[in-house]
Structure 1
């Protein structure tokens, strides 16, 4: 299977980012529950221009993260795993199953309650963490499995973005939204005119972000929309899309996502945090990520392969698909992001949800790693076994 240099770079940066995110999360949790708690929390709530530092990170810097996701999705659609329907169908179907089943499980416990808005929380997959765990298995991981997980996670993120845009918009300013889309239309014209200069797209991107921020639709959506009006061309190293994606990998992986982790995992474990895990919201998140993800990914994939709609890559087997579904249960970044939107101004619900997400993601990652390690080792002959 031919893999582009950019995909290899994407995988390498994402797996390294996963390790950095783990370290940042541990640091944040330790500081938030130490004698430095008050000072540490003050850092993230310090006001800059009428907004807190954490607000600028979540609504500003994370837009760049979504821009990178959009650029990666665009590349996958044009020349990557999603460019051929027969290759794209399996990860698309797996991702759909991995979103619907967790949301369904969550709603079983929370429908009709004040926390039902959190249904989108267990639908998400954290690409960085998932690929970070997969990287721990080294060269024994088949290339097709890496590509499958990456494509599934990217599609999953697209689904999460749509959920954010549709279900987590409290109010809508048609004027601001219209201006944002109007700027996008102008950039699209530049694209068709083959304007291959970064400057108009960067300036236009800032404009889209500002008006999207004031439209009621979450500002990060501007990042995804911007990605699809940046000229892709033939996808070569000479194109704006390639160079922008290449340029953003390191800042996103080693600055933006770590900052997001530090700012949003400053969770204080009170005396009753264990009791909070018995809340229907926590149960829905935990079962949605740990159980719903692998069941949804496996069940939808198996059914549609049996129906002949898509096919399983030759290098993969059903045990590996199930194990990959477990890794998809690492929600972390996107799950926390959706939590902040679902439970605005509900500090207790946010804290309880974050704790559930952290525990569920850790559990899903451990199960997925252990399961894959066993299945991949079993597949090797004794003479070729790698430890």
Structure 2
């Protein structure tokens, strides 16, 4: 007689994996592999047709009919940005960014990690048709970076994990600002004005201390529609909605924290995997590897793999030497170098910006996505290897010293 299915599955192990901070990154990696497999089989054509198929509603002056891919990149990703916005606000109110002393190191490190990759990309692409993609190597993928550093366990100090989390959040905030300012279509000021009115209503709700989350979500959806038609990328509506959610730096769970907890698993285990499957479907073609030596490929790979750790380390070192900031406890400069390498994992946000940068230019999007994959893979492998070897070296020294 066959054993019950519950006996075949270790439910406790599954729950621990599902609740761990590394699981989101692991699932995202699996989805990347699935997407690449689909794209390079006969199923790739059917999948592409599915992504291009349209559904929605049109009529009465309301246009909500988009392709599946547009619903994913403009709709589902707005929920992703809503969660990012909630994380940013919580860190500013009560977390690692709540005071100047706490915020200075991750903020300055993030600035270095944004400027250096953009400069390296521009160095290779200035004056070319791909120069508009300078924002691609700027952002660190929170899920992947934190997932990988979590896999290292006690090989890295907790202070380094907190530093990376705060840096990635500031990094995402900068990427959001870049998208809002530099990656917009023609502005339609009337829609933008209506969206501004909705945003003011949300601020009023915040001042009135209204705690019912639906008072923020429903106007937020309306603001998404208006911003989508304004020319600014609709995902910005998620961030603006998040910034109006009430929160308190005490022990009680605020509306912001309730929504953050409610969104964490759907975003990490549904929305980001769907985004990865839909947007990483790269068909490997002859000459693609050699394309990494072109100006676009070099700008992205060197921007993420070299620019990220260089910028993060340099600004961190300068800020500590100038006594503006201090390193987290039990953390040293070799830890910062390794963390900077993990900062070169740019996957989700980098792919997102590449889609905005080369809208309609599928060949350039594909080349950029492949370069992002290579750079992120290199950054992850080298970063983990560096931190693991350094941890072993430290333990060996400790054992030798105790004898």
Q: The TM-score by the shorter chain falls in which range? A: over 0.9
Shift of 1:17: 0.7
> Following the alignment from structure 2 to structure 1, what is the Cα–Cα distance between the partners of residues 322 and 253?
42
Shift of residue 377, structure 1, vs aligned partner:
2.4
> Cα offset for 1:353?
0.3
**Aligned counterparts, 1:110-259, within 5 A:** 110-234=125-249, 236-259=251-274
Q: Residues 288-323 of structure 1: CA distance to partner in whole angstroms, max 9, x if unpaired?
A: 000000000001111121111111123100011011
| Partner Cα separation in structure 2 for residue 289 and residue 238 of structure 1 | 37
Q: Distance in 2 between matches of 1:239 and 1:152?
A: 24
1:40: how far off? 2.1
- Tell me, yes or no, if the aligned pair for 1:133 and 1:365 is still in contact at 8 Å: yes
The aligned residue for residue 73 of structure 1 is 88
8 Å CA contact 2:155, 2:387 repeated in 1: no
Q: Tell me the distance in 1 between the aligned counterparts of 2:254 and 2:115.
A: 36
Instruction: Please show how residues 16-35 of structure 1 align to structure 2 within 5 Å.
Output: 16-35=23-42
Output the CA distance in 2 between the equivalents of 1:210 and 1:234.
Answer: 32
Q: How does 1:345-356 map to 2 (within 5 A)?
A: 345-356=360-371
Quote the Cα distance in structure 2 between the aligned partners of 1:322 and 1:160.
22
- Are 1:85 and 2:129 counterparts? no
Q: Paired residue for 1:4? A: none
Aligned twin of 1:301: 316
* Matched residue, 2:54: 47
In the alignment, is the contact (CA less than 8 A) between 1:14 and 1:127 conserved in 2? no
- Give the match's secondary structure for 2:230: coil
The normalised TM-score by structure 2 is: 0.90
SS at match of 1:162: helix
Give the secondary structure class of the aligned counterpart of 1:273.
coil
Alignment length (residue pairs): 375
Unaligned runs of 5+ in 2: 1-15, 57-64
Q: Which stretch of the first structure deviates more once superposed, 286-295 or 141-150?
A: 141-150
Q: Conserved in 2, the CA contact under 8 Å of 1:13 and 1:253?
A: no
Deviation at 1:383, TM superposition (A): 4.9
Match of 2:295 in 1: 280
Moved more, 369-378 or 291-300: 369-378
In 2, Cα distance between equivalents of 1:236 and 1:29: 45
Q: Structure 1's 51 and 130: CA in aligned 2 closer, same or farther, altered over 3 A?
A: same
C-alpha displacement at 1:13, in angstroms?
Answer: 5.2
**TM-score where L is the length of structure 1:** 0.94
Contact preservation (8 Å) 2:21, 2:150: no
Q: Distance in 2 between matches of 1:29 and 1:215?
A: 34
Q: Could you tell me whether the CA contact under 8 Å between 1:29 and 1:265 is conserved in 2?
A: yes
Q: Distance in 2 between matches of 1:81 and 1:309?
A: 15
1 CA distance for matches of 2:359 and 2:288?
A: 20
Partner of 1:267: 282
The 8 Å contact of residues 285 and 353 in structure 1, kept in 2 or not, is answered as yes
1:306 and 1:156 map into 2 onto residues whose CA distance is: 22
